[in-house]
Amino acid sequence: MEKIEEQFANLNIVKRSSGTEEPTYLLGIDTSKTVQAEKGSLVAVLCSNGSIRIYDKEKLNVLREFSGYPGLLSGVKFAHSCDCVYSSCTDGTIKCWDARLASEKPVQLFKGYPSNIFISFDISCNDHIICAGTEKVEDDALLVFWDARINSQDLSTTKDPLGTYSETHSDDITQVCFHPSNPNMVVSGSTDGLVNVFDISVDNEEDALITTCNSTSSVSCIGWSGKDYKQIYCMTHDEGFCWWDLNHLDTDEPITCLNIQDVREVINVKEGTLDYLIGGLYHEKMDKLFIVGGANTGIIHLMSCTTSGLIHMTSLQGGHAATVRSLCWNMQDDSLLTGGEDAQLLLWKPGAIEKTFTKKDSMKIASSVYQRVRVHNSDSCKRRKKQ
């Protein structure tokens, strides 16, 4: 554990993004998965003005920008096998751009059903299936699925859905996350407090539902962790944290590893305060889950996750000047990208030295993003039994 603590403690800023004409909150970050020696790695950032900016990872300069206008974009993901970048849009589509092309026109468009407003999505690890979550409209909150593969016989750029799941959430579906190595496993989270795990290789929704866990609050973040990624974790809009072990589904062991209603009330940080949670990162080599939070002043706190609670490890200072909204951890080079309400994108690396250091004053930017907090039934987890 000392090695990883030292690694995180030694994270220093190596680069800051250059300023843009329109400062925005940076709400989501993903990096290209492809390795091309002659081409630099790309970073895609979701901005609060509803657009996606593509950066060169090493220089952190903006290469191009994609817009969902008149719709607003939410979420940003690179494909696993190419430099296509995806985002869900409030106009009822999932859009796909080639991140290396200057053209603003999407290369593929995945259309939903009438009245669909997509607010979350993910693409499977083999790039075959896209799944998106909708806002609740009337009585429906849907998970919608598409075949994302390009068919040489059908070169159409617009695709209709394969189908939907409609029975398992009762409110806005705020999070969708595919398993990192099993393309058939997907987990969804909602403002109804439920976190559902599905095996989409099964024919119908009822049988596809493996288990339902209850966070008891509006879900803001979900992810996979543990050996072979058999665990899931969840954060809520009121700074709660839950951690479940799916290995225990067929045993007498409790599935809940940790359930903290408000992390701010139980964690002791060495510098400043913990005001909010940002996300999680699972370190494969160490088989360890880490939770990342922050202070409104821009300090970032890294916490180790254990079954007995969260332990503060280290804090990253001197970077952001306002709330940090997004992060992306790279296992290959142990680098960390962070984005904040100060409109800055920062690249951190162990032992790095920043060539030019000028901390920007905090920017007061009108946010177009709001958070909803609700309290729900406190049943922590229920197993869905097959008939």
pLDDT for 377 equals: 46
Q: How many CB atoms lie within 10 A of CB 200?
A: 20
Helix (DSSP H) and strand (DSSP E) numbers for the chain = 3, 30
pLDDT for 31 equals: 95
List Cα–Cα distances, 384 to 210, 212, 234, 262, 376, in angstroms. 6, 7, 19, 27, 19
pLDDT for 36 equals: 61
Under DSSP, the state recorded for 201 is T
pLDDT tens digits for the chain (387 residues)?
557 777 888 899 999 997 777 789 999 999 998 866 446 789 999 999 999 999 999 899 999 999 998 888 999 999 999 999 999 999 999 999 999 988 889 999 999 999 999 999 999 999 999 999 999 999 899 999 999 987 766 666 899 999 999 999 999 999 999 999 999 999 999 999 999 999 999 989 999 999 999 999 999 999 999 999 999 999 999 999 999 999 999 898 999 999 999 999 999 888 789 999 999 999 988 899 999 999 999 999 999 999 999 999 999 999 999 999 999 999 888 899 999 999 999 999 998 676 554 444 444 444 433 333 333 444 544 544 443
- CA dist 24 and 351 (Å) reads 29
Contact 277, 233 (CB under 8 A): no
Question: What does R_g of the chain's alpha carbons equal in angstroms?
Answer: 20
pLDDT for 372 equals: 36
Which alpha helices (H) appear in 197-282, and where do they start and end?
205-208, 263-266
312 CB-contact burial (10 Å; exposed 0-12 / middle 13-18 / buried 19+): middle
List pLDDT tens digits, range 303-318. Answer: 999 999 999 999 999 9
pLDDT for 190 equals: 98
255 CB-contact burial (10 Å; exposed 0-12 / middle 13-18 / buried 19+): buried
149 CB-contact burial (10 Å; exposed 0-12 / middle 13-18 / buried 19+): exposed
List Cα–Cα distances, 170 to 77, 86, 206, in angstroms. 26, 26, 15
pLDDT for 285 equals: 86
